[in-house]
Structure 1
Amino acid sequence: MSSSFIDSLTPEQVAGTIDHALLRPDMTTEQVVAGCRLCAEYQTASVCVRPCDVALAASVLAGTAVQVGTVIGFPHGTTSTQAKVAESIQALDDGATELDMVLNIGRLKSGDLAYVQKDIHDVVQAAKRKLPTCCVKVILECSLLTDDEKVAACKAAQDAGADYVKTSTGFSTGGATVADLKLMRGCTDPERVHVKASGGIRTLDDLLACLQASADRIGASATAAIVDEMRARKAPDAA
């Protein structure tokens, strides 16, 4: 990893790339509140909570710059398009400003790209009508796909108007890899679509490797440890 790349980043910039994930099914309300407060303290890009927690997160983070995100069709992507649209509208009504939707993996692997693209398109259109500034990210679940399928998924997401393509849910057989990030960046227009790395990013070095591979956002739950490590490396006596 390039030392000049690391030297060019500040702890604040690192925190500003993170979508802090609060998605475990066993999380208590108290843990969600604590996680949102951590986001406010560290000034992350966003918090990504379960759909049932959106209103709570929006309340806790009111008055901060932290965006409230949630997941749609999570974690398998197999709910109907109509259900994904309804879930998206409800999330926006509850205070979300970012949506991470799972594409229909089975339809993608069946070669039904028209279905996959329309599924994404309908969510994007509904979200943008409801909140024009809404950011829609499309989760591919790369560990279940061939490289050709990843490319097809990225192109479908781009053509459907998505803002991001994202590697993983963090709840399948694998997470973000540098190879996948480079592939996703290489087959999309950087002026139209951003790339989010998610899944298995637990250390600062993991995060930096993803950023160097052209990721724009990082999904992580080890936010405090990652940013604190960056602060330690940047400390005057670290050298």
Structure 2
Amino acid sequence: MPLEYTADFRFYAELNDFLPPSRRKRDLAYRFNGHPGIKDPIEVFGVPHTEVALIIVNGHSVGFDYQLRANDRVAVYPVFKQLNMLPLARLRESISGPPRFIVDVNLGKLAKRMRLLGFDSLYRNDYRDAEVANIAENQQRIVLTRDRRLLFAKRITQGYWVRAVTVEHQVEEVIRRFDLYDVIQPFARCLMCNGVLVPVAKADVLEQLQPKTKLYYDDFYRCDDCRRIYWQGSHIDDMRQRFAILLAR
């Protein structure tokens, strides 16, 4: 009969959100045979690998390829903005360029708000999990989801489980989690299709405008993809007030 070994795990900060209350902020014993990859027990405890930024085993930083050994002491950490990760083992390749997102079917309102702030955010209300994983992998997109099970997919390397319930708090949470304050570009994307908005001459869209819009507005934008027309009406001032704190940051 094979021997059974034990390793002690401890999860820190918001990673405890994935644990039952009775198992939070305490050492947890994990029993195993052989030498499993360390990502497996982390996910057995219920923590998606996409939420993990740092793993320390017996005082040393390790990657997901580390094979667990008897009596290991494992500390698992989420992303910390103030922590210099350069000298530590990297768990995944960083995404180059501006962050791009794919938003699952439960977060349609969040997708629109992210587009409103200028972030490339794919969304459809009929995405299947496999399709989300495929797009995330092929296009190097970060998955935003309320379904933590989705983040266990091996093909998803960058993802985040959105904790907040209301869309206002969800936006603040995502901006804070990925430190996006300096790259907000309001009103740069189409709310409906995610296309880029470009300036367009009033004369070129005049036939598509309502009489009052023709009379009171002169600056217009058109979506490169779906050709919808946008202008800075009173709703823009309302949105600026709604996101005043984010824009001020």
- TM-score normalised over the length of structure 2: 0.26
The structure, 1 or 2, with the larger RCO (C-alpha pairs under 8 Å, 6+ apart) is 1
Structure showing greater radius of gyration is 2
> Which has a greater percent of helix?
1
TM-score normalised to the size of structure 1?
0.27
